[in-house]
């Protein structure tokens, strides 16, 4: 089973690209972030025509997440528990049936948090605290479980072409990285780093200052695997070539292959 994540930076602008990529790579489950549309505006038809079930948690003009799955999506939950006042569409969870049980998939668009020393960073850290509490509860189920998405976290120096350029950024502050490491310490596995220790494994290149042309990138899109999912890890990768397509997102798809059968 291939599970992929991609911040598409507006699904209505990039539906054609998404369809091309889906035909090319054939993922079983796809987590999309920054769809930037309300539920009823999501262009379902081209994805359903490819055999995907679609569930959407959107909002007008900003944020928004969606799950596409070739398997039926069950027990779908919109929103991350822990703060009833949070109305931003950043989290969706669902279960798919696999041989011998179920697999749980979460699609997440974690807040950027910039500028630091503002309520935006407080929101980011509050969201991460809620994520840790949620993850701790889900780990008790002892089932294959993937939290995939745009984390807006640069985990370490190897995940940026120039770490010194990010030292004052919310994505790379010590507190941000420490909270990400807390998730790993709970038992989650970073799929990309579990399969490669290569440098220049980036998933985001800014539109400004020729970042793509200079390969001035960062790795902020992650798939974290529960122990039961990590035990089934076959491979993982980053579809860097998608960034070179016409009118691309500033992110590219990241994926993991797990030994799970429908």
C-alpha closest to that of 249 among 38, 9, 55 = 9
Q: How far apart are CA 89 and CA 195, in angstroms?
A: 31
Contacting residues for 249 by C-beta, under 8 A, at least 6 apart: 6, 7, 8, 9, 10, 14, 17, 242, 243
CATH number of 2-258: 3.60.10.10
Whether 66 contacts 32, CB under 8 Å = yes
DSSP state, residue 46: H
**Predicted confidence band of residue 100 (pLDDT cuts 50, 70, 90):** confident
Asked whether 65 and 36 are in contact (CB, 8 A), the reply is no
How far is residue 53's CA from residue 124's CA, in Å, rounded to a whole number?
A: 30
Convert the pLDDT of each residue in 19-76 to its tens digit.
Answer: 999 999 999 999 999 999 999 999 999 999 999 999 999 999 999 999 999 999 999 9
At 50, list the tokens: 């490819």
Pairwise CA distance, residues 28 & 26, whole Å: 6
Instruction: Indicate if the alpha-carbon torsion angle 62, 13, 24, 54 is positive or negative.
Output: positive
Q: Is the dihedral of CA 202, 205, 209, 213 positive or negative?
A: positive
CA 69 to CA 142: how far, in whole Å?
A: 22
C-alpha span between 98 and 123 (Å, rounded): 35
Q: What tokens does 8 get?
A: 């598409």
Percent of the chain at pLDDT above 70?
Answer: 100
pLDDT tens digit string along 217-262? Answer: 999 999 999 999 999 999 999 999 999 999 999 999 999 999 998 7
Q: Answer yes or no: 109 catalytic.
A: yes
List the binding residues.
7, 34, 150, 152, 250-251
Candidate list 28, 52, 109, 169, residue with the active-site label: 109
- Residues of the binding site for Mg(2+): 7, 34, 150, 152, 250-251
| Cβ contact 243:205 at 8 Å | yes
Burial class (CB in 10 A: 0-12, 13-18, 19+), 94: buried
CB atoms within 10 A of CB 17: 18
Helix (H) / strand (E) element for 123: namely helix 119-139
**Which pTM was predicted?**
0.98
Q: What are phi and psi of 34, to 5 degrees?
A: 50, 50
Per-residue pLDDT tens digits for 101-154: 899 999 999 999 999 999 999 999 999 999 999 999 999 999 999 999 999 999
- Partnered with residue 92 across adjacent β-strands are 78, 107
Candidates 28, 150, 169, 190; catalytic one: 150
* Catalytic residue list contains 150: yes
Q: Where on the phi/psi map is residue 21: left (φ > 0), alpha (ψ -120 to 50), or beta?
A: alpha
- Spatial separation of the C-alpha atoms in residues 145 and 93, rounded to whole Å: 10
Cα(247)–Cα(17) distance, integer angstroms = 9
């Amino acid at each position: 089973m291939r599970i992929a994540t991609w911040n598409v930076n507006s699904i209505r602008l990039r539906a054609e690209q998404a369809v091309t990529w889906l035909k090319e790579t054939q993922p079983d489950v796809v987590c999309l972030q920054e769809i930037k549309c309300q539920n009823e505006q999501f262009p379902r038809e081209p994805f359903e025509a490819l055999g995907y079930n679609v569930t959407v948690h959107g909002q007008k003009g900003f944020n928004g997440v969606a799950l596409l799955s070739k398997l039926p999506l069950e027990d779908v939950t919109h929103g991350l528990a822990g703060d009833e006042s949070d109305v931003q569409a950043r989290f969706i969870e669902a279960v798919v049936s696999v041989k011998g049980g179920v697999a749980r998939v979460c699609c997440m668009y974690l807040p950027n948090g910039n500028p630091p020393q503002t309520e935006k960073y407080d929101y980011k850290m509050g969201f991460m605290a809620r994520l840790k509490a949620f993850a701790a509860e889900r780990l008790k189920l002892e089932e294959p479980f993937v939290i995939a998405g745009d984390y807006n976290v640069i985990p370490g120096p190897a995940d940026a072409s120039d770490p010194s350029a990010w030292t004052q950024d919310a994505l790379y502050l010590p507190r941000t990285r420490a909270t990400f490491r807390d998730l790993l310490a709970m038992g989650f596995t970073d799929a990309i780093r579990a399969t490669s220790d290569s440098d220049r494994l980036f998933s985001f290149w800014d539109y400004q200052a020729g970042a793509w042309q200079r390969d001035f990138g960062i790795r902020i899109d992650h798939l974290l695997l529960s122990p039961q999912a990590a035990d089934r890890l076959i491979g993982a990768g980053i579809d860097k070539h998608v960034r070179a397509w016409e009118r691309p997102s500033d992110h590219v798809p990241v994926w993991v292959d797990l030994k799970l059968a429908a």
